[in-house]
Each structure stands twice: as structure tokens, then as C-alpha cells.
Structure 1
Amino acid sequence: MDDYDNYTHDGTVDMKKNPANKKTTGNWKACRFILGNECCERLAYYGMSTNLVNYLITRLGQGNVAASNNVTNWGGTCYITPLFGAFLADAYLGRYWTIAIFVMIYVSGMTLLTLSASVPGLKPSCSGDVCNPKAGQTAAFFVALYMIALGTGGIKPCVSSFGADQFDETDEYEKKKKSSFFNWFYFSINVGALIASSVLVWIQMNVGWEWGFGIPAVAMAIAVMFFFAGSRYYRLQLPGGSPLTRIFQVIVASFRKLNVEVPRDKSLLYETPDEESNIKGSRKLEHTDKFKFFDKAAVETPNDQLKSVANPWSLCTVTQVEELKSIIGLLPIWASGIVFATVYSQMSTMFVLQGNTMDQHIGPHFEIPSASLSLFDTVSVLFWAPIYDQFIVPLARKFTGHDRGFTQLQRMGIGLVISIFAMVVAGILEVVRLHYVREHGFFDVKQIPMSIFWQVPQYFLIGCAEVFTFIGQLEFFYDQAPDAMRSLCSALSLTTVALGNYLSTVLVTIVTKVTTKGGKLGWIPDNLNRGHLDYFYWLLAILSLLNFFVYLWIAKCYTYKKTAGSTH
């Protein structure tokens, strides 16, 4: 019995594919390498991406529109490629080997990017402020850029799930630690982001792009060393085969048995007799009563019984059916995160435009760029992540009795409420700002004498909302995903950020068209002193409030996943 308790019971193995030993693998001894890797990787990513638009304009000679579109297209790609990386991880390679392969592509891309900005021949020749890049030099830069996008696609969806794999879900003591891991994981991301958005941006603008890209490349190399240094401590979940194939098998089998009646006694539904699931790397899932139509796929007909081996396109196990049900159940929660991501995206758009109209001076000689105020979002995350883990959770646990203090859905809901207040605070500031403009007749003044630091509260609230919603989302999608689909579900959660940006674009486009009819300036004109940006903030606050009420209904209807043999 003692020997049995020395090994994990969630299907994880060590690097030699033996059952993972609890004493020598996993837990925080493994996670310190994963967190170090993530901190350096995010420093590298934000270090080269935060100021990328300025490189395209100053060194590659692109206009504002072209440079902006290239950055957003590349950024969108960085949130699409995780779907590809996640599929490979869940289906064939496993999370460790997917990260190991893609991290090498990533560091190669960072190296090429640095060379394209520093080596004669690859580096555009400049005369003063005017640069004339050759077609080959531009091509080398974009090859490097999209190598990075491909590399990040294998890391983004896998690394958080890989870290969570280091804690045995069947062990109550380790399971409590897993919740803390997601807090410290997000903390490490923001440590990297803080250094990148402050120190590295300054180096790029004041020292040179050679150092500005070179330091992130070195950080990425350190990230690689961190990752491989912890290999002997890691616990690995085995890949379970193509998750998409299993999903389509259930759908096809259900429609093939359209006229078959599901028995009232659900124990009659087809499942393998073994204790383990027939899906590699996955525990058995208990039957649920939601989406009953798909239960038809697990009904064993006389025709199925005649076959010595079950045809998966005609007969599926209960666990396979429940996998599909789990994914369908996650989609409404996923969709409710898009509006939150839209609010989050305002930090890089409307908050910056609002800040551009305010006094940016710190003392008589130094000005802070309005985009740099996003530092206060990062500081907020760095402040609230440990506060949540060390103080809020223990306090909430006394009132709720829940191990995590709040359920994952409660945590995400709290973040949605805080995001509403962030929009309200931003709107109130804009009302005050416009009143100041009208009172003093500052309609055509570029920067009114009102400190930009009045924006700090709205950035700080967004950071606080992130700690609740984004970290809760990370944990929720890992925990509620079927065992063999965790990377794919993590990638799915990342797409809310991309869709939130797209929704923001759509809203701005619609608002501009509707409010500029009849020769009016509209809510968001080039001169914000003559516009009504506050109305746009109120619109987002109302949409966030409606989204929250819909979320409450979705959360109330949601049924948490239950593995066979579990008690909760």
C-alpha cells in the first residue's frame, strides 16, 4: 500500500515512461523550472513585441497604417497558432515534447530577428532618420517574426497545462497546490512583461535595436535552459490520439443511431470493462444527463454486438461521449470571456488615446509615453496575485468552505464585476476631462493641463480583474477539460483575447459610422476634446453588465466534470 501511495494515480509518467514517483518528480521542485522558463519567455516575447510598431516605421520605412496592420496580423497569428500546437500536444507529441520542439523554433526566430537588426547585409542601411531596406532584408525580418509566432504557438497552450500536470489531481494535498500554481504562473508572466515594457523599450529607443532585440534573444535562450534543466523532475501526460477524430466519431455515431432509443438505465451504455479508459492519458468520465442526444453513440445495438471489435464510428464509450459533452459545456463559458477581453484590449487603444490628450510630464524635463501607463496594470497583477493566493483565499475559505476559497466560476465572475467598474472609472475620468476642456476652452489644445496619472485607477482595476478572470479562466479550462484535451482547451481559452480585439474593432467601426452621420464629429474623432469617448466607455460598461448577467445564468447551469470514482 505504501509503495502504491508513492506513485501518482492520474496517468502521469516520468521521462522514462515509468509511473511518476511523487517523491522524485513533479510538485514545486518541477514547477520552479517551468515558472523560470515562462518568465524569461514572456520577457523575450513582450520585449520584442511591445515596441514592434516603432521598428517597422523607423527601420523598415512603413507607414502608420501598414505598420499597425502588420503588428495586429502578427499578433493575431500568435493566438491562432496555439490551436495547432495544442492539437499536436494532445494527439501525438505530449506537452513536454511539443514545448521542447517549438521552443527551439522560437529561439531560432529570436536569433534571426536580432541578426536582421544588427548584422551588415541583413540590417537596413539608414541615413539619419531615413532607412531604405532591401526586399531581402524585409523578408528576413518577417521570416524571423513568423518563426516566433510559430514557436509561441507550441508553448502558449502547453506550458500552463504542463505546469498543472506536476500536481496529482487524485491527491487532495497536491490538488490544493495546483490552484496556487496558476496564480504564480500568471505572476511570472507579468514579471517578464514589467521588465520588457519598461527597461527593454527604453533600450530600444535610446541605445539601439541591436541590444533591444539581442537581450530578448538571450532571455529566450535562458528560457530554453530553464526548461531542459528540469527534465528529470517532470511528470508527463501521455498523448491520447487525435481529439478531433474522437469528437467526430461521437457525432457520426449519434446521427447513425438517430432512431435508437437510449435506455433509462445508463449503466447499460457502452464502456470498456477495464478500470482505465481506452483513451490513452485519460481517466474514465462518469455519465451526465446533459446533451442526451449524444448518448445514442454509446448505445450497443445487436449489430454492434455481432462485431468482435467495436467500430468507433458506430459505437463510442461513455467517456468518449462525455469528452464531447465537456467541450460543448465549456463553449458558453468561453464565449462569456470575449467581452472581458474587449475591455482588456482598451489598454492598448482607447486608454492610450485618452492619455495622449493629458499632461504626461513627470517633473519639468521628463515625459512618460501614454502607452507606458500599462505598467500600472502589470504592477496591479504583481500586487494582487500573491495577495489573492496568500490572504484572500484563506479568508474566503472560512466563509465558503471551498478548498480554493472561491470556485473557478465564482472567481471569474468577480473579475467580470471588477471590469465593469474599470470602464465606469474610465468613463468618469473622461467626463471630468471633457468638463475641464469645455470650462477652459481647451478644444484645440493637444495636451490639457490635467495629469495623465489620473488614469492609474482604471489600469489598476483592469489588473485586479485579470487576477480573478484570466487566472480563473486558465485554471477552469485546465480543470474542466477532458484529460486528453487539456492543451486544446487551453488554446481555446487563449482565442478569447484575439476575439476580444476583433470585437473592439467591430464596435469602434460601428460606433464611428453611426455617430458621424449628418456631418457630426462622432464619439471618437481625431480630436478627442470635441468627441465623447465617455459614451464609448459607457457602452462597454453596459455590454459588460449584460455579459455578467448572462454569465451568471451560464454558471448556474454549468455542471462540473466528474471523473469515475471521484467524490466531488
Structure 2
Amino acid sequence: MEIEKTAGERADELTVRSSDTLVGDGAVDFRGKLADKITTGGWRAASFIIVNEVAERMAFYAIAFNMVIFLVKEMHEDLPDASTNVTNWGGTAFVLTLLGAFLADAYLGRFLTIAIFSCFYAAGTVLLTLAASMDSLRPPPCSVEDCRQATGRQKAFLFASLYLIALGTGGIKPCVSSFGADQFDEEDPGEARKKNSFFNWFFFAINLGVVISITLVSYVENRKGWGCGFGISAAGTLLSLVILLAGWRLYRHQRPHGSAFSRFLQVLIAACRNYASSGASGEEALLFELKTELSAIHGMRKLPHTNQYTFLDRAAVMTAPVAFENRWKLCTVTQVEEFKSFVRVLPIWLTTIAFPFAAAHVNLFTTQAMATNRRLSTHFVVPASSVAVFSVVNGLIVIPLYELYGASFFRRFTGHPHGFSSLQRVGLGMFVTIPTFVVAALVERHRRRAAEAVTFWWLLPQYFMLGFADAFTFVGQLEFFYNEATDGTKSISSALFLSTVGVGNWMTSLSVKVVERATGGKERGWLRKDLNHSKLDYYYWIVCAICAVNFCVYLVVASYHKGKDQVVIHSTTGEDESSGTKRLIAAEEAL
């Protein structure tokens, strides 16, 4: 055993390091040295990230769940416009995760990216608090004779603050789940099992933050005003940053690996060039790979060759002697396989967009809640946004039960170590969205035809079912996209998953506008200014049909999907492990 003592440290602070305790996935500690499993990572480090997520999600959803109400009541927007503005904002926030992931994987690393973008996030919440607190930044209250719209300056200030929050979210969200998973060594079977549990508890943390936001924060907003409520969001953002920084000595870090998007483009161009010059397929020619322990991509482990997407193999075909520094003409097998891993998940990505499209309609659930009787007693009325607690509490119940009992029970039938595979969990959640909107349509029809305002308890089934679907779909997607990623694309893969939320939100905005205009506009259509004169239940049937068709498509795509552990692998020794055929891979010295 080797004892290392760094300069300036006391004798009692010596770090004991052994080759048996060093990580095998290349992660480093805060000093830049190979991380030791005794002193870094694991649940000690991950707990800071999980608590950070509770505080950050509390701040975000305290804004997201209440913004439709704020726009309608304080900014005097029509209901369809308010709903569209919120889904556009949410969509932008989650699509911007691609930017945050790019910066994290290519240049900054996940920890630094989270810290920097948290500052943008905090600045946005402070400005939003000012927008809700200062009378000059809002239109005057409506009277019987007059109800003024917000001025251009007031709208500009409000949406500048919201989109600053969106920018911060875009930098934080693709990194935080991957950074938490980085605390568990993939090469250690024991820690790898803990990583799968981490994803479940990470989702639990999200839901805990949401519960706080739609109960405590919504109550404060009702009693003390919007300024106090959004002020709590600002405090939560700052608290999340402090919690993250508090664990800095315990974290394991994956070094940035350069721009994955540049490497993807190099593979495409090299493959097209080599095809045009020789026409030789990857199955018939020598493929290039370095004769070193690590790959040519800085800090990234080598990837074995697979038999999928063989056209891309042409990027590694040695058509003529060429300097390896020119990767636009010649790529390594590892670089090609990295791009294949990205391409492999795109069909799943495309067919899972319908779930966040459906989930984004929770804003319309909130407008339904506004039109119900929410009085529990003479002195207490449930805030409309707090009715969503039916959905979120479901996640707090389902995740622990599944982790403690469900996985072992279903393992008997599926044979999968985690009960359901990640794609099976996604499929289960997507299926549940279909009856969710059947129930939502029937409840809305009953509410609209009732002689008096129905109680908000009627909304419990649709909220509960949506929460159940979210619990399975979100965790399944998070686990799937992370596990299918390579060393250099962890954040990008998480961002790809989160971008489905953004695209789904934009699809919701588009569908609301299309249905509104196609059915007669705000005055005579299905989605009017007054919900009681709208036909929201008709619109819910359209959403239900979209979910049903997409679920069938997803089943087909998922059945044909082959993950990186299922594809046929050609080993670098030249032996095809599945068929026994020979495969030659050129070494660096061949150049």
C-alpha cells in the first residue's frame, strides 16, 4: 500500500490510496488525481446532489405551476395565451439543455457548468421577484369598467427574467443527474447497482421539491402575495448552489472530452469521403484504432466495434496512408462507435416526445382546478396550483415502494435485475397517459354540465394517473439515456432526454393554437377565454388519440431497439464473439 502526502497537509490528514480502492472509470477528485473510492463519491457525495435537486426543483416548479395563474390574474392575459406562453418558456428551458450539455462535455465539466448556470438562474429569480413586487412592472388591477393589458415594457421585463431562468435551467438540468451518477464507479459491480438506485431517488428528490413548491410556496403566494412566493424561489435557487458547493471535496469528476458534435460531424464526413473514394464497406476493409490503452479521445475508454450502421464504419477505413491528425478523413473505431451510440437512441428519443407533450397539459389541469370549488373550510381555500399535489405525491409513494418491493416482485416474472428494463418502464408510463386523458375528458364534461361548481376532488384521478405515468416514464428515460451514453456523451445524452420535454412543450403550444384557431378562435372555439364556455373535453380526446397512436409506434420501435450491450461485438483481438469470423483492425503503426 502506498501512502501519499501532499504539500502543506498535516500528518493526520494523509490519504491512504491503494490500487484496489481507485476508481476504474477514469474519474478524478478535486485535485485532478484518480479518485479514491474511500474518500470520494458514493452516497456521501450523491446526497449533496440529491438535496441540491430538491431545492432547485422547488424553486423552478413554484414558478412553473403558478405562472399561468400569474399571467391571467396579474398580467391580464387570456387563458390560451397564458398557457401557450408558459409551455413556450418551459420548452425553451429544456431545449437549452443541449447547450449546457455541450459546454459541460466539451470544455467546462459538469460541476463547473452547474455552478456557473446557477448564477444565471438566481439572477432570473431575483428579477422575477421584482416583477411581481413592483407596481410599475405590472398593469393596475382590473375594475368593472377597465382591465388594462400589460405594457410592452412590463412584458419585456417579465419575460427577460423568465428566459434568464430558462437559460440557467438549460445549463443545470443535463449535468446534475449525470454528475450524480458519476459518483458511482461503473467498473465496480457494487457501485453500479447503487447507480441504478440513485436514478430512483433522484426522481424522488424532484417530486419532493415539487410538493414543497405547490403546497408551502403556493400557500404563501395566496396569503402574502406573488412577491413573497417568487422570493422563496429566489432563496431556493441560492440555497441549491450553496448545497452543491458544500460537497466539492467529495465529488468525483469526469474530465471534459472535447466537442462530441464535432466528432460526430467528422465521422459523417470521413464516411462519405471514403465511400466516394473507394466504395469499400467496413466489412471488407481494415479499420483503424490506436494501439494504446485509452482511445484517441482525451480521457475516454476505447469502445469495441459493433455490426450496426456499417456505413459509418467507412470513416475508419484505411483507403490510403493519411496522417491521423486529419480526423475529417480518418477516424478511430472508438470515435465511430461513439457516434453509433448516439444514433442508436434517436428512434427512442423521437417516440417518447409524446409523453412530455401529454404531461405539459398539467397547465390546463390547473385551469380546471381554478373553476372548481376548492374550499375545505370556512377559512381555507386550496390554491389552484396546489391541486397538482395529487400528481406529485404519487411519485413520492411509487418510487420508494418500487425500490423496496416492486423490483424484487417483478423480477420473478421478467428476469430483469431491476424488475423492469428502462424501456419497459417508459412503455408502462406512456400507456397510462391514454386512460389519463379519457378520465380528464369525462371529468371536464361533467364539470362543464354541472349546475354548480364541482369540488376539486373530481380532478384527483387524472392528476394521480399522470403522476403514476411520470414516475415510470421519467426514471426509465433517465436511466436509458445515461446507460446508452459513452464516456464523452453523458451530459449530451441526458440533454437529449430532457430535450423531449422541451419539444413536447412546444408541441403543446402548437396544438393549443391550432385547435383554438381551427374551431372558431377565443370567442367561439373549443378553447375560449372563459373555461365554462369552452369545450376542453373535446381537446382532451385529441390528446388521448395522439398518445394512443404514439404508444403503438413506440412498441414497434422499442421491440427492434438493440442497446449497446445487445449488439454484436467484434473484439479488438480480431475475433467476432458471436460468429467466430475474423476481423482485422489496423494499429497505429500501420500508418
TM-score normalised by L of structure 1 = 0.87
The one-letter code sitting in structure 2 at the alignment partner of 1:383 is I
> Residue 238 of structure 1 aligns to a residue in which SS?
coil
Residue of structure 1 in register with 2:500 after alignment: 496
| Offset of residue 149 of structure 1 | 2.1
- Of the candidates 209, 228, 236, which is equivalent to residue 219 of structure 1? 236
Q: Structure 1: any 5+ residue segments left out of the alignment?
A: none
- Of the candidates 287, 291, 299, which is equivalent to residue 305 of structure 2? 287
Partners of 1:419 and 1:462 within 8 A in 2? yes
Partners of 2:105 and 2:260 within 8 A in 1? yes
- Of the candidates 194, 202, 209, which is equivalent to residue 185 of structure 1? 202
User: For 1:128-207, what aligned pairs fall within 5 Å after superposition?
Assistant: 141-207=158-224
| Offset of residue 510 of structure 1 | 4.3
Partners of 2:79 and 2:528 within 8 A in 1? no
> Residue 231 of structure 1 aligns to a residue in which SS?
coil
The one-letter code sitting in structure 2 at the alignment partner of 1:24 is T
The one-letter code sitting in structure 2 at the alignment partner of 1:424 is V
User: For 1:366-377, what aligned pairs fall within 5 Å after superposition?
Assistant: 366-377=380-391
Instruction: Give a deviation string over 1:27-50, Cα, whole Å, max 9, x none.
Output: 100011001111111112222343
User: For 1:181-330, what aligned pairs fall within 5 Å after superposition?
Assistant: 181-258=198-275, 259-264=278-283, 268-304=286-322, 307=323, 309-330=324-345
Residue of structure 1 in register with 2:47 after alignment: 32
Q: Using the alignment, how far apart are the partners of 1:102 and 1:484 within structure 2?
A: 21
Q: Using the alignment, how far apart are the partners of 1:501 and 1:128 within structure 2?
A: 30
CA, structure 1 residues 127+469, in 2 after alignment: closer, same or farther (shift >3 Å)? closer
CA, structure 1 residues 270+209, in 2 after alignment: closer, same or farther (shift >3 Å)? same
The one-letter code sitting in structure 2 at the alignment partner of 1:222 is L
Q: Using the alignment, how far apart are the partners of 2:153 and 2:555 within structure 1?
A: 53
- Of the candidates 459, 465, 485, which is equivalent to residue 455 of structure 1? 459
CA, structure 1 residues 47+131, in 2 after alignment: closer, same or farther (shift >3 Å)? farther
| Offset of residue 270 of structure 1 | 1.1
Are residues 1:109 and 2:124 paired?
yes
| Offset of residue 543 of structure 1 | 2.6
Instruction: Give a deviation string over 1:6-30, Cα, whole Å, max 9, x none.
Output: 1111121111111111111111000
CA, structure 1 residues 514+69, in 2 after alignment: closer, same or farther (shift >3 Å)? closer
Q: Using the alignment, how far apart are the partners of 1:508 and 1:127 within structure 2?
A: 27
Instruction: Give a deviation string over 1:135-177, Cα, whole Å, max 9, x none.
Output: 8776655544333222222101100110011111111111111
Question: Which deviates further from its counterpart, 215-224 or 365-374?
Answer: 365-374
Residue of structure 2 in register with 1:465 after alignment: 469
Between Structure 1 and Structure 2, the one with more helix by share is 1
| Offset of residue 80 of structure 1 | 2.7
> Residue 353 of structure 2 aligns to a residue in which SS?
helix
Q: Using the alignment, how far apart are the partners of 1:127 and 1:541 within structure 2?
A: 38
Partners of 1:50 and 1:201 within 8 A in 2? no
Q: Using the alignment, how far apart are the partners of 1:28 and 1:146 within structure 2?
A: 34
User: How large is the Cα RMSD of the aligned pairs?
Assistant: 3.3
> Residue 5 of structure 1 aligns to a residue in which SS?
coil
Partners of 1:12 and 1:281 within 8 A in 2? no
Identity %, equivalent residues? 43
Partners of 2:352 and 2:554 within 8 A in 1? no
Q: Using the alignment, how far apart are the partners of 1:532 and 1:210 within structure 2?
A: 34
Q: Using the alignment, how far apart are the partners of 1:357 and 1:132 within structure 2?
A: 22
CA, structure 1 residues 102+23, in 2 after alignment: closer, same or farther (shift >3 Å)? same
Partners of 2:201 and 2:399 within 8 A in 1? yes
- Of the candidates 377, 380, 388, which is equivalent to residue 394 of structure 2? 380
Instruction: Give a deviation string over 1:169-226, Cα, whole Å, max 9, x none.
Output: 1111111111111111111111111111122122223213342222222222221111
Residue of structure 1 in register with 2:586 after alignment: none
Partners of 2:122 and 2:238 within 8 A in 1? yes
- Of the candidates 36, 56, 65, which is equivalent to residue 21 of structure 1? 36
The one-letter code sitting in structure 1 at the alignment partner of 2:432 is I
User: For 1:282-431, what aligned pairs fall within 5 Å after superposition?
Assistant: 282-304=300-322, 307=323, 309-349=324-364, 351-356=365-370, 358-363=372-377, 366-430=380-444
Partners of 1:156 and 1:491 within 8 A in 2? yes
Partners of 2:97 and 2:172 within 8 A in 1? yes
- Of the candidates 36, 52, 55, which is equivalent to residue 67 of structure 2? 52
The one-letter code sitting in structure 2 at the alignment partner of 1:240 is H
Q: Using the alignment, how far apart are the partners of 2:441 and 2:69 within structure 1?
A: 29
The one-letter code sitting in structure 1 at the alignment partner of 2:189 is E
Residue of structure 1 in register with 2:562 after alignment: 559
Q: Using the alignment, how far apart are the partners of 2:556 and 2:201 within structure 1?
A: 30
Instruction: Give a deviation string over 1:332-366, Cα, whole Å, max 9, x none.
Output: 111111111122122211x3454455443434564
The one-letter code sitting in structure 1 at the alignment partner of 2:281 is V
CA, structure 1 residues 223+24, in 2 after alignment: closer, same or farther (shift >3 Å)? same
The one-letter code sitting in structure 1 at the alignment partner of 2:43 is W
Partners of 1:124 and 1:132 within 8 A in 2? no
CA, structure 1 residues 311+528, in 2 after alignment: closer, same or farther (shift >3 Å)? same
Residue of structure 1 in register with 2:5 after alignment: none
Q: Using the alignment, how far apart are the partners of 1:353 and 1:37 within structure 2?
A: 30
CA, structure 1 residues 389+217, in 2 after alignment: closer, same or farther (shift >3 Å)? same
The one-letter code sitting in structure 2 at the alignment partner of 1:296 is R
| Offset of residue 329 of structure 1 | 1.5
The one-letter code sitting in structure 2 at the alignment partner of 1:551 is Y
CA, structure 1 residues 417+159, in 2 after alignment: closer, same or farther (shift >3 Å)? same
Q: Using the alignment, how far apart are the partners of 1:529 and 1:136 within structure 2?
A: 32
Residue of structure 2 in register with 1:548 after alignment: 551
